[in-house]
Amino acid sequence: MANIELTGVYRQMQRRFSVEGAGLTRFEEDFIASVNMATRRINKDADLETRIDMVTATTDTVGLDDAYLDVLFEVAAVYMAKMGQRPARGDEEDMVKSENDIPMMINSIRRDILNRAQAADTDDTAMLVGLGGLGD
């Protein structure tokens, strides 16, 4: 499991919202806030056993498997738009779709956690019959 490095996510978010130069300080603050809102939502909705820590800089690392980079990015982008950041021209409809898909995206994380837990379950079930056990 590799964690998500925010440096690349931040650059990609700048492109998604067509930000260059002016307003960069506000954009950076909104980015950090949106990533934290996204991680809170993922923590809560995916019911993560190990909570994702909040970030304080665009160079921080998010303690979430990089397999879920797309989920973190899309959820954070929705929060960026809610904070008043304007998506690049033509991306407005994608924002609406992303917002509607948030529960499904986060549920994919929860589903993966449950699948891994089931696969790792090493209880010996050979002695179980129906709802009861046979005993020793």
The domain segmentation of the chain, as residue ranges, is 4-120
pLDDT tens digit sequence for 97-132: 888 999 999 999 988 888 887 887 766 555 444 555
Rounded distance between C-alpha atoms, residue 122 and residue 53, angstroms: 30
Q: For strands 61-62 and 128-129, give the pairing.
A: unpaired
This prediction's pTM: 0.81
| Phi and psi, residue 87, nearest 5° | -65, 155
Residues of the chain with pLDDT under 70: 1, 20-23, 122-136
Q: What is the pLDDT of residue 101?
A: 93
The Cα–Cα gap between 64 and 43 comes to: 10
